[in-house]
Amino acid sequence: MEVQAEGRERIGPAQPAPQKDGRLSVEDFKINVEERTAICPAGKTNTQCSRLEEEAAGKVSYRLEFSTQCHDCRLRGQCLGKDQKHRTIVVGQHHTVLQARRHEQKTPEFKERMKHRNGIEGTQSELVRGHGMRRARYRGLVKVRLQNYFIAAACNVKRWIRREAWKLAQAVSVNSVKMGETPAI
């Protein structure tokens, strides 16, 4: 929500809804947190909605219950566990936005946009894990920025050397094949 208020956009994928024992998942329900309603795959609406708030963390979630609808439902076997009498779903405060992202990430347009993001993920991982870019050694924005420039330059030099070594190995193997020798790998 804060990201949209700042005029930015999140591009990353959302985690899929957890699956439980092959039963119907939260994604199978049409949930509208703002209106506190949920419609199950059988078309029945929830009977109760409770707002739950963890005071220590400030986390808000909603518990949606289908108490009287589940007794004679045709999908009871797919929806409920063996000892359950009715279905209860607990979702977070931003579930509507999360569901919209889950549906969006199945589209070809989203997958195309993710290619650009995926291209940089490996580089960021290398910089953080291999070169210590997660923590700054110095105080002050100017010094931290300079540290990041040096880390990026070192990463680029390392990649350039690796590429030149690969090109040299390719040239040696091509020359040895031309001369009738077996290339050593």
Which residues make beta-bridge pairs with 64?
A: 49, 89
Residue 142 within any structural domain of the chain = yes
CA-nearest of 78, 80, 48, 84 to 63 is 48
**Better-scored residue on pLDDT, 1 or 73:** 73
Provide the pairing of β-strand 59-66 with 87-92. Answer: antiparallel
Residue 164 within any structural domain of the chain = yes
Query: Cβ–Cβ contacts within 10 Å for residue 99, how many?
Result: 20
Residue 65 within any structural domain of the chain = yes
Residue 88 pLDDT > 70: yes
pTM: 0.59
Total number of domains in the chain: 2
How far, CA to CA in Å, does 172 sit from each of 31, 105, 164, 166, 167?
63, 46, 12, 10, 9
Residues 84, 23: contact at Cβ < 8 Å? no
Residue 117 within any structural domain of the chain = no
Residue with structure tokens 């009977």? 47
Does residue 138 share a domain with residue 95?
Answer: no
The percent of residues above 90 in pLDDT, for the chain, comes to: 21
Does residue 97 share a domain with residue 9?
Answer: yes
Residue 55 pLDDT > 90: no
Confidence of residue 56 (pLDDT cuts 50, 70, 90): confident
Residue 111 within any structural domain of the chain = no
Q: Which domain holds residue 144?
A: 126-185
What average pLDDT does the chain have? 85
Confidence of residue 145 (pLDDT cuts 50, 70, 90): very high
